[in-house]
Structure 1
Amino acid sequence: MAGFTLAPTAAAEGFRLEAHEVVGSTNALALDHARAGDPGRLWIVSKRQESGRGRRGRVWATPQGNLAATLLVVIDGDLKSAATLGFVAGLALADALDAVVPGGRIAVGLDGAGSGRNRFELKWPNDVLASGAKLAGILLESALLGEGRFAVAVGIGVNVVAHPDDLPYPATSLAALGSSCDAETLFLALSDAWSVNARLWDSGHGLSAIRRRWLERAAGLGGEVAVRIDGNVVRGTFETIDEDCRFVIRDESGARRTIAAGDVHFGAVASAGAI
């Protein structure tokens, strides 16, 4: 078994850990466990994932030494509220990174998303950036269990030792940023930070507090943005996220637009029309 451990706070709250040397997909495994009756609060982690997925069916590579972590959450009722767990995950990961990566300046990256306020920023809806480049991605997948119960797999993939260099957007890793932090250390901090932010979220009752915290770390807030929606591109200024955590921009005509799903690009990439 890999050398992963839960933070004492997480263990005390009843979270459990299943660690693998290699796994196909931590999300798929978590949902399989849920269908077999697992009650949730189960972290599944690995330093190598061979069939990882990103948003919209994209491949998410997890070579040896990177972190693939999924938390299985089993809930009753409101799946709409559960969809905001991605924002909890982003905050938890950013808090964990702040805790384990030594301080120091991280420059604004090519995408122009860095603001200088935070070393690690959150890009709507589900990325964590450093140096304006993608360091981590978050993917939520769900399954209906019956009797009004749902399983939600909160998948978190972090480029710890390596990052892809053939992407249409900038990417980075902790190693490329000069950090020697390993996957085990990062997960220990993540399991602790998740507990803190999940308590704040409070089954969706604390979403307004999560939204405020998320906006404090938001990449590109107040700047030029382009959003690809079903093949069309909308350009404008990133104003906020609303009470349901949807993306809100002021478009080029001055109209306020609320976006539930789309691919977001900032700064030079947005203005260049290269999307």
Structure 2
Amino acid sequence: MAFTLGPRALSAGYRLAAFDQIGSTNAEAMARARQGERAPTWFVTTEQTAGRGRRHRPWIAPRGNLASSILEVLDVSPAVAATLGFAAGLALEAALRRVSIEASLRSAGSDDMKFALKWPNDVLAGRQKLAGILLEAEAVGDNALAVVVGIGTNVVAAPEGTPTPATSLRSLGVNIGAEELFAELSDAWAEYRGIWDMGRGFGEIRKLWLERAAGLGQPVAIHTGGTTVEGTFDGIDETGCMIVRTSGGKPVPISAGDVYFGSAASAGTT
């Protein structure tokens, strides 16, 4: 089965560059932007050999998983562009929900599988990581910002020995291909990108994201650099920072860090 854009993505003018194998879809997308590409374009593969996640951690997509990156060249500030990652999480959660329901109907199984969004950039199935999102931005030309949102999803296999235990759609009993998931993702992206609307719709994106947030109201510890902030996950603010309410009742905004919920917050592991 070949990669194709969904009908909504096609009508919205998105383009597609599909590869049998590639080092990194994010790197390819940014290279195209530097070369002058300005149209919104998806870069996808089922085998990525040199991808990376947050903090330059390797993100390898073995054959059958989905590595996808969307390039958008925008006239927004880097701070506003950063909030696009929340729209990406919503798009992926919606696509995963749709393919899991469709797969369940085909197999006459249960369709009540739930996915959650873990701040800042993961999608969980239960307590296990199913997908990760990496957003990168770079100035190109006059007043333009090339924003690349990389989305890696464990379709047929999950890595072992990761800080957060990982799972795959296949392990969850959702037997679909990366191509099927991508078609749904491209349409969901067009939907939530439209709601985001160059950052003007982040209030609605924030509301929708919080409805799907993992760990909201639970104990949380955020490790960033050599410091740790502990408290209760109270929400996200208008810039996308996590708000942690400490034991003294003080709200502390967190812009980046490794997040540990529940019992793992005190243990420092996930």
Into which bin does the TM-score normalised by the smaller protein fall?
Answer: over 0.9
Residue 253 of structure 1: CA displacement? Answer: 2.9
- TM-score scaled to structure 1, two decimals? 0.92
Q: Report sequence identity in percent.
A: 52
Q: Give the alignment of 1:189-228 within 5 angstroms.
A: 189-228=184-223
1:146 aligns with 2:141: yes
Equivalent residue number for residue 117 of structure 2: 122
Q: Which amino acid aligns with 1:41?
A: P
Q: Distance in 2 between matches of 1:50 and 1:87?
A: 26
Residue 267 of structure 1: CA displacement? Answer: 1.2
Number of residue-to-residue matches in the alignment: 262
Q: Distance in 2 between matches of 1:16 and 1:225?
A: 40
- TM-score scaled to structure 2, two decimals? 0.94
From the superposition, tell whether residues 49 and 273 of structure 1 become closer, same or farther in structure 2 (CA, over 3 Å): closer
Residue 229 of structure 2 aligns to a residue whose secondary structure is: strand
1:5 aligns with 2:24: no
Q: Report Cα offsets for 1:232-274 as digits up to 9, x if no partner.
A: 1111100110111110011133221111111111112113244
Equivalent residue number for residue 111 of structure 1: none
Residue 245 of structure 2 aligns to a residue whose secondary structure is: strand
Residue 174 of structure 2 aligns to a residue whose secondary structure is: coil
Q: Give the alignment of 1:219-258 within 5 angstroms.
A: 219-258=214-253
Residue 88 of structure 2 aligns to a residue whose secondary structure is: helix
Does structure 1 conserve the Cα–Cα contact (< 8 Å) formed by 2:45 and 2:66? Answer: yes
Does structure 2 conserve the Cα–Cα contact (< 8 Å) formed by 1:34 and 1:40? Answer: no
Q: Distance in 2 between matches of 1:59 and 1:45?
A: 17
Q: Which runs of 5+ in 2 are unaligned?
A: 102-109
Q: Which amino acid aligns with 2:132?
A: G
Q: Distance in 1 between matches of 2:117 and 2:154?
A: 15
Q: Which amino acid aligns with 1:83?
A: A
Does structure 2 conserve the Cα–Cα contact (< 8 Å) formed by 1:123 and 1:218? Answer: yes
Q: Which amino acid aligns with 2:240?
A: C
Does structure 1 conserve the Cα–Cα contact (< 8 Å) formed by 2:260 and 2:269? Answer: no
Q: Which amino acid aligns with 2:255?
A: A
Equivalent residue number for residue 62 of structure 2: 63
Q: Give the alignment of 1:18-57 within 5 angstroms.
A: 18-57=17-56
Q: Report Cα offsets for 1:157-187 as digits up to 9, x if no partner.
A: 0000000111122111101111101100000
Residue 231 of structure 1: CA displacement? Answer: 2.0
Equivalent residue number for residue 110 of structure 1: none
Q: Distance in 2 between matches of 1:176 and 1:224?
A: 29
Q: Report Cα offsets for 1:94-147 as digits up to 9, x if no partner.
A: 0001111135455xxxxxxxxxxxx01000000000011110000011121131
Does structure 2 conserve the Cα–Cα contact (< 8 Å) formed by 1:73 and 1:151? Answer: yes
Equivalent residue number for residue 185 of structure 1: 180
> How large is the Cα RMSD of the aligned pairs?
1.3
Structure 1 segments of 4+ aligned residues over 3 angstroms from their partners: 103-106
Q: Which runs of 5+ in 1 are unaligned?
A: 107-118
Q: Give the alignment of 1:71-86 within 5 angstroms.
A: 71-86=70-85
Q: Which amino acid aligns with 2:57?
A: R
Q: Report Cα offsets for 1:61-107 as digits up to 9, x if no partner.
A: 1000000000001012422111111101000000001111135455x
Residue 96 of structure 1 aligns to a residue whose secondary structure is: helix
Equivalent residue number for residue 13 of structure 2: 14
Q: Report Cα offsets for 1:162-220 as digits up to 9, x if no partner.
A: 00111122111101111101100000000010011011111110000000000000000
Q: Distance in 2 between matches of 1:209 and 1:241?
A: 12
Q: Distance in 2 between matches of 1:25 and 1:274?
A: 28
Q: Distance in 1 between matches of 2:209 and 2:230?
A: 22
